[in-house]
């Protein structure tokens, strides 16, 4: 599945991995290196008009201050491909 967010970032999800393909800003340290797939624990979305919540595996990153290592994208503008991999 490939989706584009309001901030102009394009993400690709395959199975339990996600990567940022491009964006106006670099990925956050938690999201990893642009273009490189990173394993996640769970994902909420994408749905048009909603932010995507990515919860990372505990073994990938240390826990965030609130105890949950997560990333929240800007709102989804477009879903280019949905192959049922999420």
pLDDT digits (tens, 9 = 90+) for 15-57: 999 999 988 877 777 777 888 999 998 999 999 999 999 988 7
The pLDDT, as a whole number, for residue 58 is 63
**What is the C-alpha separation between 5 and 34, in angstroms, rounded?**
15
Identify the residue with better confidence: 62 or 11: 11
Show the CA angle centred on residue 13, arms to residues 11 and 18, nearest 5°. Answer: 75
Q: Is residue 86 part of a domain?
A: no
Q: Residue 67, class by beta-carbon neighbours within 10 Å (0-12 exposed, 13-18 middle, 19+ buried)? A: exposed
**Per-residue pLDDT at 4:** 96
Please give the tally of structural domains in the chain: 1
Where in the sequence is the domain holding 29, given as residue range(s)?
A: 2-81
Residue 27 within any structural domain of the chain: yes
CA 9 from chain centre, in angstroms, equals 10
Residue 70, in any domain of the structure = yes
In a domain, 35, yes or no: yes
Tell me whether residue 58 is in a domain.
yes
Q: pTM of this prediction? A: 0.81
Asked if 44 contacts 28 with a C-beta cutoff of 8 angstroms, the reply is no
The verdict on residue 20 lying in a domain is yes
């Amino acid at each position: 599945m490939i989706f584009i967010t309001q901030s102009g970032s394009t993400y690709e999800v395959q199975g339990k991995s996600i990567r940022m393909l491009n964006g106006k800003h670099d990925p956050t340290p938690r999201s990893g290196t642009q273009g490189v797939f990173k394993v996640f624990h769970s994902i909420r979305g994408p749905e048009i008009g909603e932010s995507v919540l990515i919860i990372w595996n505990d073994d990938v990153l240390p826990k965030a201050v609130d105890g949950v290592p997560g990333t929240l994208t800007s709102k989804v503008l477009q879903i280019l491909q949905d192959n049922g991999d999420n």
